């Protein structure tokens, strides 16, 4: 039987508890989850993509069926390259849905074999975002 591999893409600058929760819950649904760290030259991240990959690898070390890789370019090409069948996306609020839905439709058009799975966060993590984590950190919280 073919392994069910899901890809969870993002900038993860930084990875926070909401991301980790989604990864851990998705590991119960898939044989393997690939955390795909986006290398986006248009953004100025707090951490380099290499640093983010290393931090996430350390954090996810207890989970042997989770691997972490950098990527750039089309997400569906990366999903195909790693043998994935599904893109995981977290939805914290209705406001996330419109953008994520448009991306899912475009990905489906580019590669009909790639599905998108939207996952709601646990209630404790609905307010958490990387931007908020960085703002609180820089304000001394």
Q: Which of 26, 52, 89, 130 is catalytic?
A: 130
How many Å apart are CA 126 and CA 17, to the nearest integer?
10
Is 95 among the catalytic positions?
Answer: no
> Is residue 135 pLDDT above 80, yes or no?
no
Classified as helix, coil or strand, 19 is helix
Q: Which of 57, 92, 108, 134 is catalytic?
A: 92
**Whole-model pTM?**
0.87
Q: What is the mean pLDDT of residues 62-89?
A: 97
Is 43 among the catalytic positions?
Answer: yes
Q: What domains can be seen in the chain, in order of their start residue?
A: 5-138 (3.40.50.620)
For the stretch 1-48, pLDDT in tens is 889 999 999 999 989 899 999 999 999 999 999 999 998 777 788 889
Q: Which of 3, 43, 113, 122 is catalytic?
A: 43
Task: Provide the strand spans (E) within the chain.
Answer: 5-10, 32-38, 66-71, 86-90, 115-119
How many Å apart are CA 110 and CA 114, to the nearest integer?
9
Asked whether the CA dihedral 20, 78, 5, 53 is positive or negative, the reply is negative
How many Å apart are CA 86 and CA 53, to the nearest integer?
21
For the stretch 41-57, pLDDT in tens is 777 888 899 999 999 99
- Contact call for residues 66 and 32 (beta carbons, < 8 A): yes
- Cα separations (Å) of 94 from 63, 85, 90? 30, 25, 11
Is 19 among the catalytic positions?
Answer: yes
């Amino acid at each position: 039987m073919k392994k069910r591999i899901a890809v969870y893409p993002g900038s993860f600058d930084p990875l926070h508890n909401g991301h980790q929760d989604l990864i851990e819950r998705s590991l119960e649904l898939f044989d393997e989850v690939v955390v795909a760290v986006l290398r986006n030259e248009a953004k100025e991240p707090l951490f380099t993509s290499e640093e983010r990959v290393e931090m996430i690898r350390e954090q996810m070390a207890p989970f042997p069926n989770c691997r972490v890789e950098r990527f750039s370019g089309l997400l569906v090409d990366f999903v195909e390259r790693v043998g994935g069948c599904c893109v995981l996306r977290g939805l914290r609020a209705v406001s996330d849905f419109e953008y994520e839905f448009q991306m899912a439709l475009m990905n489906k058009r580019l590669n009909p074999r790639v599905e998108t799975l939207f996952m709601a966060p646990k209630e404790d993590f609905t307010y958490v975002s990387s931007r908020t984590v960085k703002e609180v950190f820089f304000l001394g919280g």
